[in-house]
Amino acid sequence: MIIKVEAIIREEKMEDVLDALSALDVHGVTLYQVMGCGTQRGRKEYAYVRGHQQVEIQMLPKIKLEILVSSEEWEK
């Protein structure tokens, strides 16, 4: 059986997470650059949509990790 692990982390923590996964002999990782906000609430920026409508953007750049491991590896 295969287990899929998904995690969303801050960009500055990516190297630490990859090093920790490598120490566990997990090498197959898919990374995505995503935007989101949670308890941090993001940063406020203003953008113009269609040239005249001002909208507030409260998103922060994040990294989404997808990791597939077999159930035998997961048990370790």
Query: CA-CA distance, 58 to 35, in Å (whole number)?
Result: 9
Q: Do the beta carbons of residue 30 and residue 21 sit within 8 Å? A: no
CATH code assigned at 11: 3.30.70.120
Domain span holding position 19: 2-70
Give pLDDT tens digits for 39-67: 766 566 666 666 666 666 677 889 999 99
At residue 45, the 3 state secondary structure works out as strand
Short-list 20, 7, 13, CA closest to 65: 7
Give pLDDT tens digits for 22-38: 998 888 899 999 988 77
- Give the pTM: 0.69
The answer as to whether 76 is a domain residue is no
Domain count, the chain: 1
